[in-house]
Structure 1
């Protein structure tokens, strides 16, 4: 399949630049994957589409302030680093700018308390670097780092917490699992009160979020690795839900990819706790093992995320829904409106 079949024109003014004051005030487009019917709602109405005995699976990763601005130690030239993956201890994979001038052996300085030594060079601005500092790294990062907002967001984010879900817990992401941004604690309490289980997985969003597909054929694309964890408590809830005939509903594509990674590992047996690195790439033709419904945002043209939702609902149904969302002036991407595929 050619990547271009997932292209569409999106007016720039539909790209949401700031989050709404009320997280639950977003709009909600629902898509029935069986008959293709589309309806329009407020996000709070999601409760009406969830049944007692269903399980919502949310990604509790926490975004780190992963964008650092500093200088090269030898020349004083400006340098930018975007942390993507903690390899081990103080060693990270990152994207750097300007990549042509930041080579292996370069030393970058961030204020008076943090330095980074470039230890390896990769492609497309990728570098491996080792940090040198005194104190606690996460505290230094909180002071010096900025939230790594996607490049299509031009506005300054005044409140860092608005790029975190209310249940964010495990630090390590270079981007937020944005479908979860629509939930508040009050809405989650309402969902639980209806008899719907809420379970958590962790997937630290990494390099693949920031790199466009560079191939023409979808089948030739290789996803970058991201670290995931599915705890035994969540495995138990999933197994019980399946045994009772309830649905497994992923909140966001990151939760979906985690669930499907574990489903592949467990095969026909019960779901058990699992952790590791995943490169799973879900596109049409894929047969889902766990995910039956999905809450998601509206994604970029020709992105792997559009392909994932098309695998669940069908390309034609997704394209129809996207064009209707554009016609109805829905807000797109990270701070935008939501879609429920069921």
Structure 2
């Protein structure tokens, strides 16, 4: 398939610059395998799921990963911490760097109280850096020196409110450079209604890096390679998924990162517990094994995330739903509205 097969026209005015308030006030476009689309509010999600279904969230926590500082020469430099290389808030990170001149290996960069030594260049603006602290000390330093890494299509500076709002209410494991945005719509009231409905929930972890959002180069998608991302499926999550399958419920992934985690963890007929790295690129033709339904936001034209959704719901039907969403003035991308898709049988 060609990259141009995943294009659509989007007026810039539909790119959400602020989140809906409250969180569950966003709209929800319901895309069944066949039949008409339905327009709902996100707060109605519990009524659209069945008792015995299982929601699978990504419990990664966004860190203030964008750092603005100086090189030893005094020149300005920006660093985006993308992935902890030893798990947790350790010292070694894969990062994206930007400066007026190339950043040389061996350079120590200063970001207020925090320092980062550039150990290696990986090309395409990616570096391996070693920070001067880790753990709680690093978390505290990032809270003071770092900025929330809002995506570039949100054309404003991040505010203090974004530190709470660009975060799911169940975020647990710090390490993400971007939010798993499908989870931003959930409130305690929605979770309580899901529980009362008999819908169970569990969580996996995938730290979202910019590799998820890197553009596909050229018009052929076949040669695109995803950057590796770390994920973890804990034993209790694997057990919850197996129990859902046994009772005949559906596995409902909240967000594309949950889909990639579950599909990557599929081993011998089940989702296997463990911590691994994935480069899985889900595009039309992928055979889904672990996921039956998907809650997701609207994604950028020509993006690998849109390709994943097209693989899940059928490219023709998904792109028709996107055109309907544009016509109905839905809000798009990270702070935008959501979709609920069921996989064709």
Indicate the TM-score class for this superposition, using the shorter chain for normalisation. over 0.9
CA contact (8 A) 1:203 1:258 kept: yes
Shift of 1:37: 2.4
State whether structure 2 residue 66 is matched by structure 1 residue 63. Answer: no
CA shift at 1:99, angstroms? 6.5
1:130-161 CA-partner distances (Å, limit 9, x unpaired): 11259811111111000111010012333111
Asked if the contact 1:36/1:317 (under 8 Å) is kept, the reply is no
1:172 pairs, out of 172, 175, 178, with 175
The question of whether the paired residues in 2 share the 8 Å contact of 1:80 and 1:97 is answered with yes
Instruction: Give every structure 1 segment of 4 or more consecutive aligned residues whose post-TM-superposition deviation is greater than 6 Å.
Output: none
1:61-140 correspondence runs (5 A)? 61-73=60-72, 75-88=73-86, 89-98=90-99, 100-111=101-112, 113-133=113-133, 136-140=137-141
Query: Counterpart of 1:242?
Result: 245
Query: How many residues were matched structurally?
Result: 336
Q: Aligned equivalents of 2:260 and 2:271: distance in 1?
A: 15
- Contact 2:26/2:336 (<8 A) preserved: yes
Equivalent positions of 1:178-189 (< 5 A) are 178-189=181-192
Q: Does the 8 A contact of 2:232 with 2:274 survive in 1?
A: yes
Give the 3 Å change call, closer, same or farther, for CA 36–258 of structure 1 in structure 2: farther
Superposition deviation, residue 173 in structure 1: 0.5
TM norm structure 1: 0.95
**Backbone CA RMSD of aligned residues:** 1.4
Residue 31 of structure 1 pairs with residue 31 of structure 2: yes
Give the unaligned 5+ runs of structure 1: none
Structure 1 residue matching 2:214: 3-state secondary structure: coil
CA distance in 1, matches of 2:133, 2:340: 45
| Cα distance in 2 between the residues matched to 1:82 and 1:202 | 20
- Indicate conservation of the 8 Å contact 2:212/2:304, yes or no: no
Residue of structure 2 equivalent to 1:314: 314
**Residue 146, structure 1, aligned to residue 147, structure 2:** yes
- Find the residue that maps to 2:242 and give its secondary structure: helix
Please tell me whether the aligned partners of residues 172 and 204 of structure 1 are also in contact (alpha carbons under 8 angstroms).
Answer: yes
Q: CA deviation at 1:92?
A: 1.1
In 1, Cα distance between the equivalents of 2:273 and 2:212? 25
- For 1:81 and 1:52, how far apart are their aligned partners in 2? 45
1:122 partner SS:
strand
Retained in 1: the 8 A contact 2:229–2:277? yes
Q: Is the 8 A contact 1:150 1:210 kept in 2?
A: no
Deviations 1:1-33 (A, max 9, x none): 111110111100000001112000000100012
1:16 aligns with 2:16: yes
